[in-house]
Protein backbone atom coordinates (compact mmCIF):
# COMPACT_ATOMS: atom_id res chain seq x y z
CA UNK A 1 0.00 0.00 0.00
CA UNK A 2 1.25 3.48 -0.83
CA UNK A 3 2.31 5.49 2.26
CA UNK A 4 -0.13 8.40 1.95
CA UNK A 5 -2.98 6.00 1.32
CA UNK A 6 -2.01 4.21 4.55
CA UNK A 7 -2.04 7.51 6.46
CA UNK A 8 -5.44 8.42 5.01
CA UNK A 9 -7.04 5.05 5.77
CA UNK A 10 -5.79 4.69 9.36
CA UNK A 11 -8.59 4.90 11.94
CA UNK A 12 -8.94 4.31 15.66
CA UNK A 13 -10.66 0.93 15.86
CA UNK A 14 -12.83 -0.03 18.82
CA UNK A 15 -14.33 -3.29 17.54
CA UNK A 16 -12.28 -6.31 16.56
CA UNK A 17 -12.78 -9.69 14.94
CA UNK A 18 -11.79 -12.75 16.96
CA UNK A 19 -8.91 -13.56 14.64
CA UNK A 20 -5.26 -14.09 15.57
CA UNK A 21 -2.54 -12.08 13.89
CA UNK A 22 -0.01 -14.27 12.05
CA UNK A 23 3.44 -14.11 13.63
CA UNK A 24 5.14 -12.80 10.49
CA UNK A 25 2.74 -9.85 10.28
CA UNK A 26 3.06 -9.13 14.00
CA UNK A 27 6.86 -9.17 13.75
CA UNK A 28 6.80 -6.75 10.79
CA UNK A 29 4.62 -4.36 12.77
CA UNK A 30 6.83 -4.53 15.84
CA UNK A 31 9.91 -4.13 13.65
CA UNK A 32 8.45 -0.82 12.50
CA UNK A 33 8.44 0.26 16.17
CA UNK A 34 12.01 -0.96 16.60
CA UNK A 35 13.11 1.15 13.64
CA UNK A 36 11.44 4.34 14.90
CA UNK A 37 13.70 7.33 15.50
CA UNK A 38 14.58 8.32 19.05
CA UNK A 39 16.72 10.99 20.68
CA UNK A 40 20.39 9.98 20.43
CA UNK A 41 19.10 6.62 19.13
CA UNK A 42 18.62 5.54 22.76
CA UNK A 43 15.50 3.53 21.88
CA UNK A 44 14.16 4.07 25.41
CA UNK A 45 11.27 1.64 25.25
CA UNK A 46 9.94 -1.80 25.99
CA UNK A 47 6.68 -3.18 24.65
CA UNK A 48 4.69 -5.59 26.78
CA UNK A 49 2.63 -7.79 24.45
CA UNK A 50 -0.57 -9.14 25.99
CA UNK A 51 -2.41 -11.95 24.19
CA UNK A 52 -3.88 -14.00 27.03
CA UNK A 53 -7.67 -13.46 27.18
CA UNK A 54 -7.91 -13.19 30.97
CA UNK A 55 -5.03 -10.69 31.05
CA UNK A 56 -6.64 -8.68 28.24
CA UNK A 57 -9.89 -8.54 30.26
CA UNK A 58 -7.97 -7.24 33.27
CA UNK A 59 -6.26 -4.58 31.15
CA UNK A 60 -9.70 -3.56 29.84
CA UNK A 61 -10.92 -3.23 33.43
CA UNK A 62 -7.85 -1.12 34.32
CA UNK A 63 -8.62 1.02 31.24
CA UNK A 64 -11.79 2.32 32.90
CA UNK A 65 -13.96 -0.69 32.03
CA UNK A 66 -13.65 -0.32 28.25
CA UNK A 67 -14.56 -3.95 27.59
CA UNK A 68 -13.98 -3.69 23.83
CA UNK A 69 -10.23 -3.45 24.52
CA UNK A 70 -10.19 -7.14 25.48
CA UNK A 71 -11.57 -8.07 22.03
CA UNK A 72 -8.36 -6.99 20.28
CA UNK A 73 -6.03 -9.81 19.24
CA UNK A 74 -3.19 -8.10 21.07
CA UNK A 75 -2.79 -5.30 23.58
CA UNK A 76 0.58 -3.58 23.60
CA UNK A 77 1.77 -1.62 26.63
CA UNK A 78 4.36 1.01 25.72
CA UNK A 79 6.87 1.60 28.52
CA UNK A 80 9.43 4.42 28.55
CA UNK A 81 12.65 3.09 30.07
CA UNK A 82 14.82 6.21 30.28
CA UNK A 83 12.55 8.90 31.75
CA UNK A 84 15.40 11.10 33.03
CA UNK A 85 17.04 11.78 29.66
CA UNK A 86 16.33 15.23 28.25
CA UNK A 87 17.00 16.51 24.77
CA UNK A 88 19.13 19.62 24.23
CA UNK A 89 15.97 21.73 24.43
CA UNK A 90 15.28 20.45 27.94
CA UNK A 91 12.27 18.38 26.83
CA UNK A 92 12.09 14.86 28.28
CA UNK A 93 12.60 12.55 25.34
CA UNK A 94 11.39 9.10 26.34
CA UNK A 95 7.65 9.76 26.14
CA UNK A 96 8.08 11.57 22.81
CA UNK A 97 10.25 8.74 21.50
CA UNK A 98 7.73 6.14 22.61
CA UNK A 99 4.88 8.06 20.98
CA UNK A 100 6.83 8.00 17.71
CA UNK A 101 7.36 4.23 18.02
CA UNK A 102 3.67 3.66 18.75
CA UNK A 103 2.79 5.79 15.73
CA UNK A 104 4.98 3.52 13.63
CA UNK A 105 2.90 0.61 14.96
CA UNK A 106 -0.35 2.32 13.94
CA UNK A 107 0.88 2.99 10.41
CA UNK A 108 2.46 -0.45 9.96
CA UNK A 109 -0.77 -2.04 11.21
CA UNK A 110 -2.86 0.03 8.78
CA UNK A 111 -0.60 -1.06 5.92
CA UNK A 112 -1.34 -4.69 6.94
CA UNK A 113 -5.13 -4.01 7.03
CA UNK A 114 -5.11 -4.20 10.83
CA UNK A 115 -6.59 -1.71 13.24
CA UNK A 116 -5.21 -0.01 16.33
CA UNK A 117 -6.38 2.34 19.02
CA UNK A 118 -4.19 4.34 21.37
CA UNK A 119 -5.47 3.99 24.95
CA UNK A 120 -4.39 6.82 27.24
CA UNK A 121 -7.14 6.56 29.84
CA UNK A 122 -6.27 4.02 32.53
CA UNK A 123 -5.52 3.60 36.21
CA UNK A 124 -1.76 4.14 36.09
CA UNK A 125 -0.79 2.67 39.49
CA UNK A 126 -2.99 -0.40 38.94
CA UNK A 127 -1.61 -0.94 35.42
CA UNK A 128 2.01 -0.65 36.53
CA UNK A 129 1.40 -3.04 39.41
CA UNK A 130 -0.47 -5.57 37.26
CA UNK A 131 2.23 -5.56 34.58
CA UNK A 132 5.09 -5.50 37.16
CA UNK A 133 6.58 -2.34 35.61
CA UNK A 134 9.38 -0.95 37.79
CA UNK A 135 8.63 2.35 39.52
CA UNK A 136 11.36 4.21 37.65
CA UNK A 137 9.77 3.53 34.24
CA UNK A 138 6.76 5.27 32.69
CA UNK A 139 3.79 3.41 31.25
CA UNK A 140 2.96 5.82 28.43
CA UNK A 141 -0.09 4.04 27.07
CA UNK A 142 -1.72 0.96 25.68
CA UNK A 143 -2.41 0.16 22.06
CA UNK A 144 -4.93 -2.36 20.79
CA UNK A 145 -4.10 -4.31 17.65
CA UNK A 146 -6.29 -6.61 15.61
CA UNK A 147 -8.50 -7.16 12.60
CA UNK A 148 -11.19 -4.46 12.48
CA UNK A 149 -14.83 -5.43 12.90
CA UNK A 150 -15.85 -1.89 11.99
CA UNK A 151 -15.00 0.70 9.38
CA UNK A 152 -15.41 4.12 11.00
CA UNK A 153 -15.73 7.13 8.73
CA UNK A 154 -12.91 9.62 8.56
CA UNK A 155 -13.22 12.33 11.20
CA UNK A 156 -13.10 15.98 10.26
CA UNK A 157 -9.58 17.36 10.28
CA UNK A 158 -8.40 20.96 10.36
CA UNK A 159 -7.24 22.40 7.05
CA UNK A 160 -3.54 22.99 6.39
CA UNK A 161 -4.25 26.74 6.54
CA UNK A 162 -5.48 26.30 10.13
CA UNK A 163 -2.36 24.52 11.36
CA UNK A 164 0.55 26.05 9.41
CA UNK A 165 2.01 29.50 10.09
CA UNK A 166 5.00 30.94 8.26
CA UNK A 167 8.26 32.18 9.71
CA UNK A 168 6.98 32.91 13.26
CA UNK A 169 3.96 32.37 15.47
CA UNK A 170 0.74 34.19 14.70
CA UNK A 171 -2.97 33.42 15.12
5: in domain: no
Q: Which domain holds residue 15?
A: 10-163
Task: Indicate the pTM of the whole model.
Answer: 0.94
Mean pLDDT, residues 105-133: 97
Instruction: Name the β-bridge partners of 16.
Output: 148
How large is the average pLDDT for residues 54-78? 98
Report d(CA 158, CA 59) in Å as an integer: 33
CATH number at residue 88: 3.40.109.10
Number of domain units in the chain: 1
Residue 1 has pLDDT above 70, yes or no: no
114 domain residue, yes or no:
yes
* 139 occurs within a structural domain: yes
**Residue 1 belongs to some domain of the structure:** no
| Mean pLDDT (the chain, rounded) | 96
Beta-carbon contacts of 97 under 8 Å, excluding residues fewer than 6 positions away, are 36, 37, 38, 39, 42, 43, 44, 45, 80
Amino acid sequence: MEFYETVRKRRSIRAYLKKPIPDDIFRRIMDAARLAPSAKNLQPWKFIVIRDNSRKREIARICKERTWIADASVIIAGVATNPDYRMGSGQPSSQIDLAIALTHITLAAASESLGTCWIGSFDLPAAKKYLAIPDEYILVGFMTLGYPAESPPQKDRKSLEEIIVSEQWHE
